[in-house]
Structure formats: structure tokens, C-alpha cells
Amino acid sequence: MASSGDSRYLEVKAGVKREEPIVVDIDASAGEAKDTGVLVREGAEATVVVAVHGAGAEDTTSASLVRIIAERGAKVSLVEIVAAGSDARHLEGVGIDAAENAVVECRQYALGGAKVAVGFATNLAGTSARLNLDMRYLVDEGATLDVNHVCRQRGRVTRSQITTSGILKEHAKKTMRETIDLIHGAKGAVGNEIETVLIAGDHVVNKTLPVILCDEDDVQGNHGASIGSVSPEQLAYLADRGISGEEATALFARAIFDDAVIHAPEASSRAAALSRAEEFLGAEMARDVAEGLGLTESEESAR
Amino acid sequence: MSETTERKRSEVADVDRSLYDFVMSEEGYERYADGLTPDIVRAISEKKDEPAWMLEMRLKALDVFHEMRMADNWGPDTSGLDMDHISTYVSPKTKQARDWDDVPEDIKTTFERLGIPEAERESLAGVGAQYDSEIVYHNMREEVAEQGVIYTTIEDALHDPQWEPVVHQYFGKLIPMRDHKFAALHYAVWSGGSFVYVPEGVTLSYPLQSYFRLNASGAGQFEHTLIIVEPGADLHFIEGCSAPKYYEANLHAGAVELYVKDHARLRYSTIENWSKNMYNLNTKRATVGADSRMEWVSGSFGSHVSYLYPTTILQGARSTCEFTGITFAGATQDLDTGCKVILNGADTTASVDTKSISKDGGVNTFRSSVVIGAKAERARATVSCSSLMLDDISRSDTIPAMDVRCGSASVGHEATIGRISDDTILYLMSRGCSEAEARTMVVNGFANPVSKELPLEYAVISRRRRFRTSTCRPRRPGTTCASTRFPSRSRRPSPKARSSRACRASSTRSRPASAPKPPHGSWPRRVTPATSRSRPA
């Protein structure tokens, strides 16, 4: 498990736009655990990538903790791709503090792992601080995903937009807690949560708990959720076009992998997504994903 | 306008509590000692001359109550509730009457002020009135009784050889005493409430209503309502409750068990207007058979603390639940309300629609749970909750949980919290409304989709409930808010007008123009002979 040697701290100086992503590479099959702290100074820009990979591991537990402080006017892009093997466990934790006018763009992909827990807490402390969080997940047969998103909006005119969508396969278990906490004094704040769940199999357990806490009147909090399977009418429509229910579900799954690969900003995260795609969709479709996105042969071979 | 500039707020008039805040003397009342002991439980049971199984159940429940702990980190604070200072049984020295004239004067005056006899005359098939721990009045229309409908107290049903086995079969089965600590308390000291049995295929054209009044200070009310709606039957049951305000805690821990059989329908409406020293820890549950329908309509306006989550178990295929609720939390109120629906049958559907308004530091928590079981094929559920914040010292939380375990089921949910949008006000003002009128329209429009479902035509208690708004600048330290009330279309009549109306209502038995037309063109007779029903003007 993690030791002091697995921890690191990085600072992006004021006004600097850091081109090279800060990569947290976790080999789940080796049970790696890493602790990363990133301080993005005033007006600076940085991209942080967490790539969890490692197929074929048995009974391993990996972990990643990322803490980010975004100072005034800073811009942080965070991409997390959790693509652990089908028998691995992974614990993912993110904490972000955003000051005035700071912008946090986050994309989370939970693509694999027997048991995956994702914790994400943001503190929009400064006026006009923003969070856009997009999460896509794919919970495989018999796997468990536990997600806890918390956004505390303390600053005035802060904005949060949390969008999650995913697929649950047979015997999958998923718990999604999403909390928007509109704290007293956050006048003009707006928080939105949206979740879409596709149930693609029987014996699933889908628990959704979207919470809006409101201690201020001049705010808006909204939540919407849609949970269900492909309807018989939709299946009939697809069947008319020669697509079976299984193929339709595979298309939805492929769309998640496409999205992950498109937004993976560097090689290790792309490789993690493609490797998991190959495990889940098969080699042919994974290659199709890579070719469709115009990935070079060298990148594929790196995988 | 800058995004951070503070804007005007809507002021909604608080509930006019003058209707409920009157106290009658407890002189001559039978009042058991405060606290909970086996002797008190035995005394209650002995007074009611209950079967042995009921006493056994009470004593077991008392043990469970002492054994169970309060849930940690759940809901509003109940530390102000000390059971050692609550009397669990207070009874006026009167027997249950079937004629208002036989009810003691002070109690009759109470219910007349609340409009119960008037509502009974105009729109109800039967009325039960509970005062503190005992039912003091119970009556039902003759033709309803002739259809085989039973509407009585649990105590009376227990003394009837025909109904005692039925009560034994159903009582405490839907809400087990281990459900939570206050369910156990309820079973230990329950008193009063209603037993309703609607035979197969019977439809009641008018609702039945039970009204619960807690007059005693530092006391609890623990009524039990047991309703059985047999296959193909249809019932609308209304429950109302109120109490005067005291400066010590009162407790309401009732229980409602509803059995809706196949192809049946039950609409259960509640208007709760307890005083602001009341801990309202009530438990309600319904089980619904195949092709049946359960409708809840809930208006929560009173109490200091409320834990109220009516639960529906859709056991039969194609059964339906509809929950409509509105909660208004003002100063000193912390109301944790919502509902729970468990969909077990195939093709079951549930719809939850709630509104809440918070003002003057009031705290609203909407809590719902939709559970779709593994065998609930093609089950559908929708949950919608909207909250309106009227000032920045209030609070509103929504905590909707969804647990789906069936692949073919679907759930939709939406929740919104916010204040009145400036754009909406601007739009209405551009159409000629004043700002105050615009805000009044918005608040009424917000509440009306739900509040129109409340049984307003049946009880004065709810007719007095209207939202009136005005605008004022945000309060600053050292200043007062000079709020001006703007009458809405539903303005409450003046005391003089009300008095005049009351005189008319009590001096004639003709049907008022606003009342629904009775079936077969005439008002049915009641069980009580008309000659003994004269009422003072």
C-alpha cells in the first residue's frame, strides 16, 4: 500500500499554462496507491490525469488520492479513467478547493474493476467558481460501483453541473450519492445534477440518492434522474434496423469507451481505456474504436 | 442588476393560528401520571376492558420501546421531547356520543369552532371526533351503515364478537412494533382512533372524516386508525388534527394501517395543523392489492417537529399509488416529510408530487424512497419535488432515494429548489400586475397544483389556509419589515361574515349552494334521529 514514496506535490506557478498533463499512473494489478497534491496558482492552467489500468490481476486493491487547490482564476482540467481488471478493487478519491473565478472541468470514467469506490468532494469557495463534472460508468456483470459526489457551494454566483450516465450489466450493483450543498451566503449560486442509468440485465441493484441541501434563498438547485432499460418500443425500432438488444447495449457501451478515449489527453489514459475496451468489447471492436478516433499505430502498440 | 445584488423577497402570511389556539379547561379530566410504566399501560388496557392479547401486545411493545434507541443522525432534533414529562392518557369525563348535543359543552364548542359539525352536515358520510385520548363523538349516515360499512372506534370493534377477530388479524401487522422506537411507544399506549371496514363492492359517495384534537398540555395522543377496503370497494377518508399551543412539548405518535384489497380504491387525505410545540412522529402505511389504487393527499402546516413518511406497498399487479403533498414550514418548525413507495407487483405505477415552502427560519426536508423489487416487472415510478424558499434564514433540503432492482422497471425523478424568479415577476408586471400581485400569483400558482387536492370543502381548518404574499426589502439589523398584506381572491372572510355564515349553517339544514349535490337528489338521513339534532345558533 501507499507509503511516503508514493506521495508527491506539484505546483503550477501563477499565470503559467502547463501544457504537459500531470499524470497519476496506477497499476491496479500491482496494487499501487498514490497520493498527489496539486496547487494551481492564480491564473494558471493545468491538466491532471489519473489512469488506473491493469487487467488480469486477482484480489488486488489499488488507490489514488488527488487533492487540488485552484487559486483565483485558475483553470483545472481533471480526467480520471478507472479501468482496473475485472477482479481488482480500486479506491478513488478527489478533493478540490476552488477560489474566486476558478474553473474545474472534470471527466470521470469508471470502466472496470470488481469493486470501485469513487469519492469526489469540491469546495466552490470563491465567488463565481465553477465545477463541471461529467461521469460515465460501465458496471460489468457482478461488479460493484460506489460513487459519492459532493459539491459545496460557498461562494456567491458559483455554478456546478454534475452529469452522470452509465450502464449496469447483469448482477451489477451501483450506488450513486450526489450532493449539492448550497451553503448560507452563496447568493446567486446554481447547482444542477442529472443522472441517466441504463439497466442492461436482470438482478441489478441500482441505488440513486441525489441530495440538494439549501440554506440560502437566492439560489437554484435542480436534479433530474432517469433510470430504466431500453424500452420494447425502442428495441422494436432497433430490430427493424437489424440491431438486436445485445448489440444495442454494446453500442451504448462502445459510446462510453469512445467518449473516454476522445477525452483522454495523453497516452497512458488512452491506453487504459483502450485496453479495457478490448477486454469488454472484444479486440475487433476495440481496434475499431482506436481506428475510428484516428489513433496512431505507435499509440496502439504502446498499449 | 448585478448578479450578487440582494433582491426583493416574497412574504407569505403565516398560518392564522387563532382558529386553533384556544384552550379548554382540563378540570375534571382523568389524567394519568407522566412517564411510561407497565402500570400505566395496564391501567389503559384495563380501562378499555381489552382482550388479553391486546394487553400482552402493549406490554411487549413497552419493552421494545425501552430497548430500542433513537436512530442516530436522522431527521430533526427530538431532544426536547422527554417522555418522563408526557402524560400518555388524558380523557374527558364523557362517553362517546352519537349526537353533538350529548357532547359536553366545552368539547362541542371546540369542534364547532373547528367547523366539524358543519362539515358533517354538508359533505361527510360519517364523522369521528377524538378529544385528547378518547373518541367523544362518532356518527355515520344511515344509508352508509345499511351498506354494511363499519365506522367505529378500535375499542368498540374489540368489544364486538364479529369484529374482534378482524382487528386481531390486522392490528399491528402492517406497522410492526419494531418498526421504530415511536411505533413501539404507540402500541404500548394507543388510545382512540378509527376502525373502518368497507365491504366488497361498496362505494361511498361521501368521505368519512376523523378529527383529532389534543387539548391537554404536556400530553400525547396515540390514536390508531385501521381501515380495510374489501375488493372492489371505494373509500375517501379524511383525517384532520390540531392543538392549542403550549410552552411544553406535546407528542403525537399515531399509527395508520390501511389494507386496500384487489380492484379497490382508497383516498386518504390529511390536513395536519398541530401547534408549534408538537412533536409529530406519526406512522402511516398501506398495502395495496392487484388492480387497486391508493391515493395520499397530505397537507402539513403545523407542529414543531414532524417525522412523517406515509408508506405504500404495491403488492398486487397493476396497482397504483399517487402521493400528493404540501408542507409549509414557518418559524420554529422543522418538518421532515415525504413518502415511501415499495413496488413489488408487476406493472405497478407510483407517482409522487410534492411542494414545500419555507419561511421565517422554517426548515423543510423532503425525504422520499422508491424501492422497485426484483419481481416488479415493468414497474414505473415518477418523483417530483419542488421547494420554494422565501427568505435567507430558512432551509430546504431534498433527499430522494431510489432503489431499483428490476431490469425492466423505470424511474424518473426531478427536484427543484429556489426562490421566485425575477424574470417571472417581470413578465407578470409587463402584463399589468403590480409586483405584489405578481408574487402572490406565483406563490399561489406554486402551491395550487397540490393544495387543490386537499379536501378544502370539508373542513374549516383548511379553508382558512391560503397563501397571501407581500413584498418587502431584505431586513437589515435594527430595522423592521413593514410588510403589507395584499388580499388574494381567496381572502378569508371577516369575523362578522364568518359569524353570519355560521348562523345560517346552524339555523337551517338546507344544502348550501357550494356543497356537492347529494345522490338521488336528497340529503340522506343519519343514524341519529333528526329530532335530537337541534343545534344552538
CA distances from B237 to A6, A259, B196, B438 (A): 66, 54, 9, 36
pLDDT at B474: 34
Number of domains composing chain B: 1
- All three cell numbers of B95, joined, read 362517553
Residue B85: CB atoms within 10 Å: 11
- Record: contact B411-A201, CB cut-off 8 A: no
Give CA–CA dist A177/A211, Å, rounded.
7
The pairing of strands A61-70 and B220-221 is unpaired
Q: Is B228 domain-assigned? A: yes
Is any Cβ of chain A less than 8 angstroms from the Cβ of B398? yes
Give CA–CA dist B274/B333, Å, rounded.
11
Give CA–CA dist B39/B58, Å, rounded.
11
pLDDT category of residue B17 using cuts at 50, 70 and 90: low
pLDDT at B455: 67
Strand runs labelled E in chain A: 7-12, 22-27, 33-40, 45-53, 61-70, 75-83, 89-98, 103-112, 115-124, 130-139, 144-153, 159-169, 173-182, 190-200, 205-214, 220-228
Give CA–CA dist A210/B416, Å, rounded.
12
Report for B214-228, B282-296, B405-419: range of highest mean pLDDT: B282-296
> Which residues have CB under 8 Å from B191's CB, separation 6+?
B44, B48, B89, B91, B133, B134, B222, B223
Residue pair B329/B359 in contact by the 8 Å Cβ criterion:
yes
Q: Is B327 domain-assigned? A: no
Angle CA(A43)–CA(A47)–CA(A53) in degrees, nearest 5?
160
- Record: contact B410-A227, CB cut-off 8 A: yes
Range of the domain at B231: 9-87+107-308+420-472+483-532
Min Cα distance B288 → chain A (Å) is: 24
Angle CA(A50)–CA(A145)–CA(A35) in degrees, nearest 5?
30
Nearest CB neighbour to B404, from listed A206, A212, A231: A206
CA distances from B524 to A261, A289, B69, B98 (A): 75, 76, 51, 17
Give CA–CA dist A133/B375, Å, rounded.
34
pLDDT at B437: 86
- Record: contact B396-A219, CB cut-off 8 A: no
Residue pair A40/A12 in contact by the 8 Å Cβ criterion:
yes
- Record: contact B405-A216, CB cut-off 8 A: no
Q: Among all residues of chain A, which has the CA nearest to that of B360?
A: A217
Collapse the DSSP code of B199 into the 3-class scheme (helix H, G, I; strand E, B; otherwise coil) and give the result: coil
Residues of B in contact with A220 (CB under 8 A): 416-418
Question: Can you tell me the mean pLDDT for B234-242?
Answer: 90
The pairing of strands B30-31 and B90-91 is antiparallel
Q: Among all residues of chain B, which has the CA nearest to that of A183?
A: B395
Q: Is A152 left (phi over 0), alpha (psi -120 to 50) or beta?
A: beta
- All three cell numbers of A45, joined, read 492552467
By CB atoms closer than 10 A (0-12, 13-18, 19+), residue B7 is middle
Q: Which of A210, A220, A102 is nearest to A148 (CA)?
A: A210
Nearest CB neighbour to B408, from listed A157, A222, A229: A229
The single residue listed with the C-alpha cell 451553503 is: A183
**Between residues B257 and B432, which one has the greater pLDDT?**
B257
Write down the mean pLDDT value for chain B. Answer: 80
Give CA–CA dist B367/B109, Å, rounded.
38
The single residue listed with the C-alpha cell 402500570 is: B39
- Record: contact A204-B405, CB cut-off 8 A: yes
pLDDT at B530: 30
Percentage of chain B modeled with pLDDT above 70: 79
Nearest CB neighbour to B403, from listed A207, A212, A222: A207
Is any Cβ of chain A less than 8 angstroms from the Cβ of B375? no
Q: Is B468 domain-assigned? A: yes
Residue B281, pLDDT > 90, answer yes
Q: Is B65 domain-assigned? A: yes
Q: Among all residues of chain A, which has the CA nearest to that of B381?
A: A227
Min Cα distance B366 → chain A (Å) is: 10
Is any Cβ of chain A less than 8 angstroms from the Cβ of B6? yes
Residues B422-460 have pLDDT tens digits of 888 888 889 888 888 888 888 888 877 777 777 654 544
- Record: contact B402-A207, CB cut-off 8 A: yes
Residue B344, pLDDT > 80, answer yes
Give CA–CA dist B285/A34, Å, rounded.
49
CA distances from A78 to A23, A25, A244, B342 (A): 10, 13, 36, 39
Q: Is B504 domain-assigned? A: yes
By CB atoms closer than 10 A (0-12, 13-18, 19+), residue B144 is buried
Buried b (16+ CB within 10 A) or exposed e, B359-377: bbbbbbbbbbbbbbbeebb
Min Cα distance B361 → chain A (Å) is: 10
Can you give the length of chain A in residues?
303
- Record: contact B417-A208, CB cut-off 8 A: no
Residues A140-175 have pLDDT tens digits of 999 999 999 999 999 999 999 999 999 999 999 999
Residue B491, pLDDT > 70, answer no
- Record: contact A202-B407, CB cut-off 8 A: yes
Is any Cβ of chain A less than 8 angstroms from the Cβ of B475? no
Collapse the DSSP code of B316 into the 3-class scheme (helix H, G, I; strand E, B; otherwise coil) and give the result: coil
Among chain A, residues having any CB pair with chain B shorter than 8 Å are 127, 156-157, 182, 184, 187-188, 197, 199-229, 231
Residue of A217, A227, A234, A246 to mutate, interface with B, max B Cβ within 10 Å: A217
Residue of A214, A219, A246 to mutate, interface with B, max B Cβ within 10 Å: A214
The single residue listed with the C-alpha cell 425492466 is: B408
Buried b (16+ CB within 10 A) or exposed e, B296-328: bbbbbbbbbbbbbbbbbbbbbbbbbbbbbbbbb
Nearest CB neighbour to A205, from listed B401, B405, B412: B405
Q: Is B501 domain-assigned? A: yes
Min Cα distance A207 → chain B (Å) is: 4
Beta bridge partner(s), residue B363: B334, B395
Number of H helices, E strands in chain B: 12, 27
Nearest CB neighbour to B392, from listed A200, A203, A217: A217
Give CA–CA dist B436/A235, Å, rounded.
52
Residues of B in contact with A184 (CB under 8 A): 392
Give CA–CA dist B150/B127, Å, rounded.
12
Residue A266, pLDDT > 80, answer yes
Give CA–CA dist A193/A187, Å, rounded.
19
- Record: contact B407-A219, CB cut-off 8 A: no
> Which residues have CB under 8 Å from B46's CB, separation 6+?
none
Residues A217-263 have pLDDT tens digits of 889 999 999 999 887 888 888 888 888 888 888 888 999 999 999 99
Buried b (16+ CB within 10 A) or exposed e, B404-442: bbbbbbbbbbbbbbbbbeeeebeebeeeebebbebbbbb
Min Cα distance B409 → chain A (Å) is: 6
Q: Which of B452, B450, B440 is nearest to B491 (CA)?
A: B440
- Record: contact B402-A182, CB cut-off 8 A: no
Helix or strand run (H / E) with residue B169: helix B164-170
pLDDT at B435: 84
Give CA–CA dist B299/B15, Å, rounded.
12
Residues of A in contact with B9 (CB under 8 A): 217
pLDDT at B485: 29
pLDDT category of residue B528 using cuts at 50, 70 and 90: very low
Give CA–CA dist A121/B425, Å, rounded.
36
Residue B168: CB atoms within 10 Å: 16
Residue pair A182/A158 in contact by the 8 Å Cβ criterion:
no
Q: Among all residues of chain B, which has the CA nearest to that of A175?
A: B403
Residue B10, pLDDT > 60, answer no
- Record: contact A226-B403, CB cut-off 8 A: no
Residue pair A102/A131 in contact by the 8 Å Cβ criterion:
no
The single residue listed with the C-alpha cell 353570519 is: B500
Give CA–CA dist B425/B436, Å, rounded.
9
Residues B132-179 have pLDDT tens digits of 888 888 888 888 899 999 999 999 999 999 999 999 999 999 999 999
Q: Is the dihedral of CA B82, B83, B85, B91 positive or negative?
A: positive
Helix or strand run (H / E) with residue A265: none
- Record: contact B406-A202, CB cut-off 8 A: yes
Can you give the length of chain B in residues?
537
Helix or strand run (H / E) with residue A113: none
Nearest CB neighbour to A217, from listed B9, B399, B413: B9
Question: Can you tell me the mean pLDDT for B286-302?
Answer: 94
Is any Cβ of chain A less than 8 angstroms from the Cβ of B47? no
Residue of B392, B420, B424, B472 to mutate, interface with A, max A Cβ within 10 Å: B392
The single residue listed with the C-alpha cell 418559524 is: B331
Buried b (16+ CB within 10 A) or exposed e, A268-284: bbbbbbbbbbbbbbeee
- Record: contact A220-B416, CB cut-off 8 A: yes
Q: Is B296 domain-assigned? A: yes
Strand runs labelled E in B17-117: 30-31, 90-91
Q: Is B367 domain-assigned? A: no
Give CA–CA dist B10/B16, Å, rounded.
18
Residue pair B355/B323 in contact by the 8 Å Cβ criterion:
no
